[in-house]
Structure 1
Amino acid sequence: MLTTWVFTLLLVSSVLGADKDGALPWLTDAEAAKAFINSAEVVVIGFLEGEESRGYQELVAAAKRVDSIPVALCSAKEVWSEYSLSSDTIALFRKADQHQENLAVAKSKKLDADGIVNFITINEIRYMTEYNQVSAVGLFNSKVTAHLLLFANRGSKDYAELRERLSALAPEFTGKFLFVLIHGGLKSNLKSLNYFGLNSKDLPRVGIYDADSDMKWLLPKGEISTERVRDFCQSFLKGELEEAKQAEAQPKTEL
């Protein structure tokens, strides 16, 4: 990942040309745009005509506040057409569900840095996304409606290892599952745990929630290995879980 990103930065600076104030790189052809999009799990491109365009200064300011997400600019109309754009647009690209989310500049009555940061934060879905009130909006707006859930207590001895293990598995299910981390120690996540009939002392556990059918299942207790979770996901995709007993839970309010 780091190597790819370094390569992209070198490509941008040496071949494509950089923004004159050094704020954001400019992408001048389709190959550069594709390389940039592939450089990270989530990236943002401002498809703007130039530095005088509405939204340019606001995007530059927003990029400084979301510095974990690569941001670039593109004024080449032939590149715009590659992404079905015909007017100034701030677009977010994410690998987890192969989705492009567009913020049309002309249709935005109020366009400021706060609004762009909010747009990016809401739609920042990664291979492993931590569940909270903000990320929930993007998760449930995704066309991918099956969620693989890791319930774990942050700070527990296996927390980091499990997160890393399932993050590494997530790309195998791109476009089929969104992998979601739910921290069991947060009061705000109690509804999610209760919905699966769990409490923090039961963790770590893994579950699947299917928004289309509003059905849920828990991986049987035992080691949370890559192989068991992979088989669990594949069983769902094959329809083998539909007849299985659902996770016992309290009546649903919201996940």
Structure 2
Amino acid sequence: MDNQLLPVLLLLLLGVSGLCGQRQGPEGPSEELPEESPGEEVPKEDGILLLSNHTLSLALQEHPALMVEFYAPWCGHCKALAPEYSKAAALLAAESAGVMLAKVDGPAEPELTKEFGVEGYPTLKFFQNGNRTHPEEYTGPQKAEGIAEWLRRRVGPSAIRLEDEEGVQALMDTRDIVVIGFFQNLQEQNMATFLALAKDALDMTFGFTDRPQLFHKFGLTKDTVVLFKKFDEGRADFLVDDELGLDMGDLSRFLVTHSMHLVTEFNSQTSPKIFAARILNHLLLFVNQTLPQHRELLADFREAAPPFRGQVLFVMVDVAADNGHVLQYFGLKAEEAPTLRLVNIETTKKYAPTGRTPITAASVTAFCHAVFHGEVKPYFLSQEVPPDWDQRPVKTLVGKNFEKVAFDETKNVFVKFYAPWCSHCREMAPVWEALAEKYKDHEDIVIAELDSTANELEAFAVGGYPTLKFFPAGPDRKVIEYKSTRDLETFSKFLDSGGDLPEEPAVSSPEPQANSTLGPKEEL
């Protein structure tokens, strides 16, 4: 047979009509594929693509690196993010970074929110190489430069390869903190672990090298990650374990610990890093920076810090600055400075020195050791008991009268722990008042409330607002946390049953706490 006829015969056997617009299967034509208009363009606003279920596929084809924000027009967190998201888009466009930013109106595109498991707004997902099935969840900052840097480290190298001393010096000259990985073999897993960590440590600049002359220059003979900094000790070395290799968690903790100043001044810029440092004990020195005698104390405070690095974070709080909320948290007044406080941010227990010991390096060290050896007892904030605390249907509890009222063996006590600024607490207030009014003539039932921002309890800590706890009568100090529907009918059933009610989803969750990443999401 003439070879030139073979292609024609093959096309006839396959059925040319089955190759256009439809897929031919064993059971006949399949459903038609969605068509896209030739030359169709995805709409833009402020340099950001506005996507729909129809245009997402087109955007993924055109942009190998695509960040998509799922938002809701009514979402307050989305509105706060919008200008930063636009600035990030402009930054990346100016750099020709090869990343496109996009938005999807989640409520208007239910198919997409279902496909990508969007449960709240804003939700950001990063797509690479047209892969629609496994986008990466965005976990970075909510500021423009942070968003841009997070994306840069995904489309480009997360660390710079260094070949000589000039390259190392040039990198160190540009930043206060530089992390350099010295690896004898760049193909081993240690290198991959280092680069993976560098993708998310956005506040540090990373480099790496395998050059023997650079090992020699910095006095190294084994694989080591070195943190160089323009303050305090100047350098900290993390030696890679020969047998176990480089552990990302251990290295991350090391970098966070050693990138902090020995003493960090508390302000709006440093507070996110302070709380993200994963150092549980914070020692705070309260001083008035306008007074020379107070400023002189910082030298002694800093002198005491090095032996506690990684165990205690040393923080200076200027009472003359806008730090009233910090003073309130510790129950302090500005005129009490200079003074020390130590807090464990996991247990929220606070400690104060006994007496008015002068603040020196020796006294600071002694105070820390005394706390860790159990020689100093924690203190708990409490307001004074109001004279009319029991005159209203809702009784007012404070730290000083809580134990006596809540654990009264003859009473069933139902307590709302609230914060004055909590919107959920304010919404629930009328129902709580109605409940107290309903049971005001029941001598064995007490409906009460406690402001947890001004009163602390030794028995337990309150983590969200409002928190509802029931203390049934009896000698065993039993505590039942209420987690059911927050309405008058269900509250009444709960009380009438003596605190026995099947658990149901709560109507509203505790007030979300701000964090240093993207921040809280508004639920669907």
Q: Structure 1 residues 247 and 100, CA, compared in 2 at 3 Å: closer, same or farther?
A: farther
TM-align CA RMSD: 4.1
Query: 1:143-190 CA distances to partner (integer Å, 9 max, x unpaired)?
Result: 211000000011212223211111111001111100000010112x10
Aligned residue number for residue 148 of structure 1:
283
Q: Per the alignment, do residues 70 and 140 of structure 1 end up closer, same or farther by CA in structure 2, a change over 3 Å counting?
A: closer
Task: Indicate yes or no: 2:362 matched with 1:227.
Answer: yes
Q: State how far apart, in whole Å, the 1-side matches of 2:381 and 2:184 are.
A: 51
Change (3 A) 1:229 1:248: farther
Is the alpha carbon distance of 1:73 and 1:171 closer, same or farther for their aligned partners in structure 2, counting shifts above 3 Å? closer
Residue 334 of structure 2, aligned match among 186, 191, 200? 200
Q: Does 1:125 align with 2:326?
A: no
Q: How does 1:1-255 map to 2 (within 5 A)?
A: 47-49=159-161, 64=174, 66=175, 69-71=176-178, 78=185, 81=190, 84-86=193-195, 89=198, 92=204, 93=227, 100-101=251-252, 125-187=260-322, 189-220=323-354, 221-241=356-376, 243-246=377-380, 251-252=452-453
Equivalent residue pairs, number: 178
AA of the residue aligned to 2:326: S
- What is the one-letter code of the residue matched to 2:337? L
Given the superposition, is the C-alpha separation of residues 48 and 151 from structure 1 closer, same or farther in structure 2, using an over 3 Å criterion?
same
Q: Which runs of 5+ in 1 are unaligned?
A: 1-45, 103-119
1:162 to 1:71, Cα distance in 2 relative to 1, 3 A: same
TM-score, normalising length from structure 2? 0.29
- Provide closer, same or farther for how the CA distance between residues 84 and 77 of structure 1 changes in structure 2, counting only shifts above 3 A: farther
Contact 1:207 1:218 in 2 (8 A): yes
* Structure 2 CA distance for aligned equivalents of residues 76 and 239 of structure 1: 44
Amino acid at match of 2:347: S
| Alpha-carbon distance, 1:194 to partner | 1.3
8 Å Cα contact 2:284-2:342 kept in structure 1: yes
Amino acid in the other structure paired with 1:230: T
Q: Take 2:281 and 2:362, find their aligned partners in 1: how far apart are those partners? A: 19
AA of the residue aligned to 1:172: P
Taking a change above 3 Å as real, the CA distance of residues 124 and 159 of structure 1, as seen in their structure-2 partners, is: farther
C-alpha deviations, 1:52-73, integer Å up to 9, x for none?
xxxx9xx96x964x5xx15476
Q: Whose radius of gyration is greater, 1 or 2?
A: 2
Change (3 A) 1:151 1:218: same
Question: Matches of 1:175 and 1:153 in 2, distance apart?
Answer: 27
C-alpha change, 1:75 and 1:145, in structure 2 (3 Å) is closer
Cα deviation code 1:209-255 (max 9, x no counterpart): 110111112223231122222121012212333x443466795389x
Return the structure number with greater helix share: 1
- Structure 1 runs of 4+ aligned residues shifted over 3 Å read 70-80, 90-102, 243-254
Query: 1:77 deviation in Å?
Result: 6.3
Identity of aligned residues (%): 20
User: Cα distance 1:225–1:214, how it changes in 2: closer, same or farther (>3 A)?
Assistant: same
- 1:81-140, CA deviations, whole angstroms, 9 ceiling, x for partnerless residues? 3794145937644889998559xxxxxxxxxxxxxxxxx9xx952110001122111111
- Larger relative contact order (C-alpha < 8 A, sep ≥ 6)? 1
Name the amino acid aligned to 2:343.
Answer: Y
Matched-pair contact (CA < 8 Å) for 1:148–1:207: yes
Tell me the alpha carbon deviations over residues 176-209 of structure 1, each in whole angstroms, 9 at most, x when there is no partner: 100000010112x101011112122111111001
- Tell me, what secondary structure is at the counterpart of 2:295? helix
What amino acid does structure 1 have at the position aligned with 2:161? E
Find the aligned partners of 2:382 and 2:360 in 1 and give their Cα distance: 23
SS at match of 1:181: strand
Q: Distance in 2 between matches of 1:86 and 1:181?
A: 34
Gap change, CA 1:72 and 1:124, over 3 Å in 2: closer
Q: Does structure 2 conserve the Cα–Cα contact (< 8 Å) formed by 1:129 and 1:135?
A: yes
